[in-house]
Amino acid sequence: MKLNELKPAPGANRSRKRVGRGNASGKGGTCGRGHKGQKSRSGSSIPAWFEGGQMPLVRRLPKRGPRRTAHKRVEYDIINVETLNLFEDAAVVSLEALREAGLIKRKNALVKILGDGELEKQLKVQAHRFSKSAIEKIESKGGTTEVLEMRANTGNAA
């Protein structure tokens, strides 16, 4: 089969309905719009959210909870302690090392280490945030944690 031999399935393409071509066509006179009313007039367009004058749903629902705070949210790339086992013993786990290992995808990512899983090696870990359980697990193996300062140019503030 070639591209020039392709055809739509039978019945897939229908010709458009031609209205206003006399009463014999079945779509003459009012052209299928019924009699009078807003939708029979030319230029009539009712927005999808219009509810016929009834109080709209958006205005019926109460305003609750925090609003307009998305720009203040700080997003971290999450790495669990168990994942750090792929580094060699006594290694320095910096942001560059995490990026080379493919654990950080974003360019200016903020990194948080969480304590899920078990750590088997002594590491010096550098990140922007640590959970309490992650600090306990890293230090119990003789490793150290170093908290990096947040960069102002990423748009993420502490």
Work out the average pLDDT over 77-103. Answer: 93
Look at residue 156 and tell me whether its pLDDT is greater than 70. no
Confidence of residue 158 (pLDDT cuts 50, 70, 90): very low
Look at residue 35 and tell me whether its pLDDT is greater than 60. yes
Domain locations in the chain as residue ranges: 74-149
pTM across the whole model: 0.55
Work out the average pLDDT over 118-138. Answer: 95
Look at residue 65 and tell me whether its pLDDT is greater than 60. yes
Work out the average pLDDT over 130-135. Answer: 96
**CATH class of this structure's domain 74-149:** alpha beta
DSSP states of 35-103 as a string?
A: SSSGGGSTT----TT--TTSPPHHHHS---S--S-GGG---EEEEEGGGGGGSPTT-EE-HHHHHHTT-
Look at residue 154 and tell me whether its pLDDT is greater than 70. no
